[in-house]
Amino acid sequence: MSTHNLLSGFQDFLPESMLARNNLVSVVRGCYEKFGFLPQDTPCLERTELLTGKYGDNEKMIYSFEDHGGRRVSLRYDLTVPLTRFINMYINNIVFPYRRYQVGLSWRADKPGKGRFREFMQMDADIIGDESVLADVEVLTLMASAMEALGVRSTIRFNCRQILDSLVEMCQLDSETSVSLMRSIDKFDKIGQAGVLAELAGIGFSPGIIDKVGDYLKITGTNAEVLQGLTRLLGEAGAFQTGIALLSSITDLLAVQSHSLVDFEIDPTIARGLDYYTGLIFETRFVENPEFGSVCSGGRYDRLLKRPNGEFLPAVGLSIGIDRLLAAMKSVGKAPVFKTTTQVFIANFDEKLSSEYLKLAGELRQAGVAVEIFSKQSKIAKQLDIANKKYIPLVVLVGPDEISLSQVLLKDMRAGVQITVQRDQFVPAVLERLGLNNHPLAV
């Protein structure tokens, strides 16, 4: 075992992985921009004080250290909290409601696992300065349209903090016990209703409360049935009216559009979420491989961002975990595989012909074709072998014979055929040949 080891939870990317990741990013970016979100970026390092106090228990997973000037600095834990600084600094340069997206790495000193890394790429989209339900729905719709663009069947399950608050109120819990209640409820997917209730009993919750939670967990069915069930159980609680009004408006508005690959479900067991969420919360998972957990989650956070005068700026957003998404897509065989982006390989017969190769390459590049010149000297068989291993679809063969005849040999590696074209027909011939297969680079 050499000392040249990857740190646990960190990843290298060979070109093939990079192309797959880039593809995901560009598909998602396309969706974000279609919804009117604009790109934005912030540094990976922030002052530690900026990040603390916003993630609850998870705070211990922030990578922190002292820089050369003795400042406490931290690698960002997500792309949301650094917004507090960003918004505050540029409040006068931003037109609200502000639709922004950001692609970047985040770091968490977490224990790595399936689809779980210490350095991972997130793609966030947020609407800032907008408290409307329509903004919530836009974010949910954006999520659905991203999953559809990726061609993955998924379920977006949502809930809101007010509903959970109502349950806590009905059970008359203090904030500490409510946290452990939330944790247990959140495990519903894994351990089922009986498991959750047993766990609550183990922790020492009273039978009365366990009954109430049991009734809460029993609420399932269509979105309309869930709303009815919640009303029956929690209708008396103070926060309930706000919560139920929100969920039903969202449901009504979501029903306007249909998504063939995505289902929206109200799920009262969606409890998690970082400390800063205040309203809508949601998670997205694959229908075919839910074991990967949420590949995208988000919600409304109306009390995180502030204007300089202390007034809160309402916001709602989502965060896609690109690396987990890619891992999950691979697991269901939905990740497109890209071997190369190079379209033409120019073989090298003789150093003396270098200027001709440069000319040929220049003409193709001018026409928008991606070209690699084989710049070393090597046997032609070897060069073809290399072109083949690189999955480059077309090889241009020009040696002394072709020069004297003003011809170019074009070899299509996919079909195994070779054609001779006149030198002045070179570029059109290459373009035509490349056009024969719509996706020559996807294997």
Q: By the criterion CB under 7 A, which residues form the site for RNA?
A: 1-2, 5-9, 57-58, 78, 108, 110-118, 120, 122, 183, 186-187, 190, 272-274, 283, 293-297, 319-321, 323-325, 349, 379-382, 384-385, 388-389, 397, 399-402, 409, 411, 413-414, 416, 418
Task: Return d(Cα 326, Cα 152) in angstroms, integer.
Answer: 11
Distances (CA, A) of 266 to 59, 194, 214, 419, 432: 29, 21, 17, 60, 52
The nearest distance, CB 115 to RNA, in angstroms, is: 6
- Read off φ and ψ for residue 12, nearest 5 degrees: -100, 160
CB of 166 to RNA, least distance (A): 20
Q: How far is the CB of 320 from RNA (least distance, A)?
A: 7
CB of 283 to RNA, least distance (A): 7
Q: Which is nearer to RNA, 227 or 323 (CB)?
A: 323
- DSSP string over 357-386: HHHHHHHHHHTT--EEE--S---HHHHHHH
CB 101 within 8 A of CB 28: no
Q: In the bound complex, what is the minimum distance in angstroms from residue 234's beta carbon to RNA?
A: 22
What's the min distance (Å) between Cβ of 152 and RNA?
13
Contact present, 392 and 374 (Cβ < 8 Å)? no
Shortest approach of RNA to residue 75 CB, angstroms? 13
Sheet holding 417-422, edge to edge: 371-373, 344-346, 394-397, 407-412, 417-422
Residue closer to RNA by CB (options 94, 359) is: 359
If the CB atoms of residues 36 and 400 are measured against RNA, the closer one turns out to be 400
Q: Are strands 296-300 and 315-321 parallel, antiparallel or unpaired?
A: antiparallel
Q: 8 or 260: whose CB is closer to RNA? A: 8
**Residue 262: DSSP 8-state:** E
CB 347 within 8 A of CB 361: no
Closer by beta carbon to RNA, 5 or else 366: 5
Which CB, 227 or 421, lies closer to RNA?
Answer: 421
Token pair belonging to 396: 């241009």
Select 5 or 260, whichever has its Cβ closest to RNA.
5
Name which of 50 and 384 has its Cβ closer to RNA.
384
Q: Which residues contact 331 (CB under 8 A, 6 or more apart)?
A: 289, 292
Provide, rounded to whole angstroms, the least separation between the CB of residue 434 and RNA.
Answer: 15
Q: Do residues 246 and 160 make contact, with C-beta atoms less than 8 angstroms apart?
A: yes
84: phi then psi, degrees, rounded to nearest 5: -60, -40
